[in-house]
Amino acid sequence: MEKTKIKEIKTVIVDIPIKRPHQFSTEKVSTKSFVLIKLTLNNGVVGIGEGTTPGIWWSGESVETMKLVIDRYAAPLLLDEEPEYIERLLQKLNRQIRGNAFAKATVEMALFDALGKTYGVPVHQLLGGLHREKIPVRWALASGTPEGDIEEAKGHVHSGTYAHFKTKSGHDAPENDARRNIRIAEGIRGRSTIGIDPNGSWDRISTMKWMDAFFDAGIDFLEQPLPPEDIEGLARLSAMKKVPIMADESLASVQDALRLATEKAADIFSLKIHKSGGMKNTMKIAGIAEAAGISCFGGTSLESSIGTAACAHVYASIPNLNEGSELFGPDWLADDLVKNPLTTKDGFLFVPDRPGLGVELDEQKVEEYRRKEEKGVLI
């Protein structure tokens, strides 16, 4: 029997509009960019994957760097290789390309989709099997005003789309951020709760001052309040035993996970496929968390239904995903790249059960949103 081999790898950048502008700590965005990868095997199967980042400010990678790294460096290393040797192929990429976790995760996603389609099983079966078939999803409130956020949260709770929420902070001074979040938490008290994510923009003293007030306001968690490198600061906040501390930007590699666990610097790990270089690494990180008694939260890089499906397969396979997820990407985007977009119902996302990632690419949408030209240069 002819061996299955990787025959072709192609990428394209797409820009998809979002429903409303989203305020991060550093920028406001109105479209989301993705690098879409198609990996064709000699058996005719086409695996798809997508790479996306919150922005170049988050980790230093962008869709443009991912496309270049995949086209120029990763693809030549993978052509003519057997996709079944996925662990060995990832090791090959790691030895020859330093860093670039988001680009590597994109390649791995397409490999898993192609393998799942070849074997006729959903990706979660390749990852060890399901622990749950649906995942709770938090919606991110980012309207820009506390009144807008309270109204938006109440609307979601009333209609049954989302039950709990996360807010973005860091755009304002820590004290103003803290007051705004407490106001939101009190505005929805008794009906719902929030977690706070300042994306590493607060400092130790400002954060410590507000921990009692956050506890009193019933804040669910404080996600990455301090800069990524301040592990000792996170450990001090965790030791206060007020609001659970979640590590996001401080956690990317399996080595980061081990250090955070050893130094007792987090109560919760925010998992993300892209920042950790793929699904396999994310599972390894969840294993370290499990051994250390740390809970996991299913983070998002704001993926379309393709990346969200990949996250769902991973998160559904992790026993200690005790804090739910924020897999609201497809709902946040104004359009999608697949014919069967993922949706949330009653605050839950259902894990696809078709072979591979379980989503079918819509070529018309890809053509519609394909980036044609940027500053006179075709990409």
Closer of 248 and 256 to Mg ion (Cβ): 248
Which position's Cβ is nearest Mg ion? Answer: 248
Closer of 197 and 331 to Mg ion (Cβ): 197
Closer of 58 and 369 to Mg ion (Cβ): 58
Closer of 50 and 223 to Mg ion (Cβ): 223
Distance CA(213)–CA(243), nearest Å, equals: 10
How far apart, in Å, are the Cα atoms of 25 and each of 58, 224, 257, 291? 10, 12, 24, 33
CB 224 to Mg ion: min, Å: 5
Distance CA(379)–CA(362), nearest Å, equals: 21
- The reply to whether 197 sits near Mg ion by the rule CB under 5 A is yes
46 to 75: interface string for Mg ion, x by CB under 5 A? ------------------------------
CB 58 to Mg ion: min, Å: 9
Q: What is the number of H-type helices and E-type strands within the chain?
A: 15, 13
CB 135 to Mg ion: min, Å: 17
CB 231 to Mg ion: min, Å: 16
Distance CA(286)–CA(322), nearest Å, equals: 11
Q: By CB under 5 A, what part of segment 240-259 binds Mg ion?
A: 248
| Catalytic site positions | 168, 326
140 to 179: interface string for Mg ion, x by CB under 5 A? ----------------------------------------
Q: DSSP character for 99?
A: S
Maximal C-alpha separation, the chain: 67
- The reply to whether 326 sits near Mg ion by the rule CB under 5 A is no
Q: Which stretch binds Mg ion (CB under 5 A): 190-198, 284-292, 305-313, 353-361?
A: 190-198
Helix (H) or strand (E) holding 253: none
Distance CA(193)–CA(198), nearest Å, equals: 17
Q: Which stretch binds Mg ion (CB under 5 A): 164-172, 194-202, 319-327, 338-346?
A: 194-202
Backbone angles phi, psi at 336, to 5 degrees: -140, 175
Distance CA(306)–CA(358), nearest Å, equals: 9
CB 133 to Mg ion: min, Å: 26
Beta bridge partners of 204: none
How far apart, in Å, are the Cα atoms of 74 and each of 27, 226, 325, 355? 30, 34, 30, 25
List contacts with Mg ion (CB under 5 A): 197, 248
